[in-house]
Structure 1
Amino acid sequence: MSYLKSKFHHPNLARNELGLTYRDYEGSLSTLCAGCGHDAVGAALVQACFELSIEPHKVAKLSGIGCSSKAPTYFLGKSHGFNTVHGRMPSVTTGASMANRDLKYIGMSGDGDTASIGMGQFAHVVRRRLNMTYVVANNGVYGLTKGQTAATADKGSRTKKGEEIMWGGIDLPTMALQLGATFVARSFSGDKEQLVPLLKAAICHEGFAFIDIMSPCVTFNNHATSTRSYDYVREHVQEGNITDFVPSKEEITTEYPEGESKDICLHDGSILRLHKGKDGYDPRDRFAAINAIEQHREKGEILTGLLYCDPTLRDMHDFLGTTDTPLNTLDEKSLCPGNHALEGINNSFR
């Protein structure tokens, strides 16, 4: 059986600054379960890239193995793509970024791909602050292999078969904060109004941007005793701040009470506009972010929104002092400067 996506679209679809429509950022027809939250994540990425007027061929999307790692097939069909080995997406992204720093890198992963087999890779790509957007579609279960419990599942919740989970779940945003990520956020696949601005800000952020997205599995983890079901997440989400993304090219104005907003200027000049929550949440304080996550977790709540952002810290290219010219465009003379240059390098180590 073949699945073909209709090429028909309304002739008056809105176009962005490049003259492209939303449909130009879509991918193949999804074969994920009907209602899967991962499709909503893909749709939000499509919307974010469309609104940012990003040239599709300037994006590289990479993934590992799992339902979430299948998702890149269904968005940004005209971009570069690489489906890697299970848990090894960060290594391939690092190599690609070193070869061509001019692309925008979007890594799509899941709770198993990141928090289990890929935990070591995740930890090191965060601490090295690779310039990429790392998205985890987190459903707390291994949907592709029929419902085994993931490392991010909450202690005390139950599987579809009724088995109680005995181990405490790994909180990936907390780990990202502890390891030095310069942009950390959490959202819900069913909250497009919050998710799209967060993705836009993450893509424009120069440094390691991490977004953990609660994305319920409709087949294996959407039952009454699950803490990752649609109903549970909607009832327990607590928004740390209301997020709006303002591109530097065209200012977007909005009315908001005086003293309740905070602007963070990103490297490219774009502004991330935040509206404080009731508790005066400050996304510039890394330790306060960790405490806030834990406080809400103790109450059975999921803190969403922009949890932390520091656009002043350096990324991996800055640390290594790499050339501004992508390595894949350097000529032979630049790559092989000759014996004289080699002797100088060798002498520097004596």
Structure 2
Amino acid sequence: MVAQQIRIDNGKRAREGKHQRSVHSTPKEDTVAINDIGRKHNDIDYKKGIIWDRCDEGRETGHRYIAIYAHEMSRMQEIVLLRLARFGDSLWLRTLDGKDHLWPQYAWADEHHFHQLQALLPCLQHRRPKRVLILGGGDFLAAWRATMVKSVEHAKIADWDPRLSELVLKHQPWVEATGTHKRVEWGEPVDVRKFLPRNQDEQWDVIIGDLTDLTAMNTLVPDFAEHVFRILKPGGVFSTQAGSLSVAPGSTHGLRDGIAALKKAFRVGTKNGGRVEVLWWPIESFSYPQAFVQAWKEQRMLPACPTAQTIWRRCSVTELKSDRPFLNAEIAARAFAVPLEFQRWLGLAS
């Protein structure tokens, strides 16, 4: 039976930063603009003001929205930027050659947990990252967290759709500083399927995967893990979002296979070999615990749980003093505490 869950919040909205938009149209007003696309949309109920998340097999989750800022077909994908009643500003995408439904990418209420574990934490565990490559990441959120670390000199966003970045900058003002940052390179379309096999010379300290789950990445790019290993510097780390940490067999098997490919590519268990670890955190706007995977090229990383002193020394003071919740040692410790049951399923424990 398909479990349908409509999340409605008529009272207080999720915590939002000072840069949130304050003027919004109603769903009814948005309908005219959206219908200009000229296609019936199965995932958006314009009359009721609900957008449906159908990414997980066997489950549908409905989110009531307040306004749609942009809904556009670029050359590569369908892009929807809107404000959810419960979780604030949010981005949804549908690739034109993919499945016929929208995939939620982030929501303001909890994106900080996602991107700080995905991008900021590995940069803090690295001894001195200077060059960061982000595979995907056209919404700037991974780049935002990576450049919080003062030693990072260059962060390259390798995304195939500059139009997405333009729309995010226009409608999500809280990422504007990252999009205009002199250390962040973006704007040139980059197809990762071609970029990785051809990238022979450049070496990166940190590579952040912000594309899709590990199974899909290995399908899209043959020998994906080997390519990532090759262009990492010794002591470098590949950190990626890896889909849901779920009891559903399909999710578990896909994540396990992706981890196995990384362990092989990063020579885990051999002399001077690397290390692969799994993290997790509940992302309420996704309706599931999110898995993250780190793969280290040689084991030169700093402790997984950075102290407050380390964070203050290595990160931007401006960011630390902002009103956005910030990563700390307690969050990192909990993220690495993956239940033993899951570790066994994923081949990380006996």
What TM bracket, shorter-length normalisation?
0.3 to 0.5
The structure with the largest strand share of the pair is 2
Question: TM-score, normalization: structure 2?
Answer: 0.35
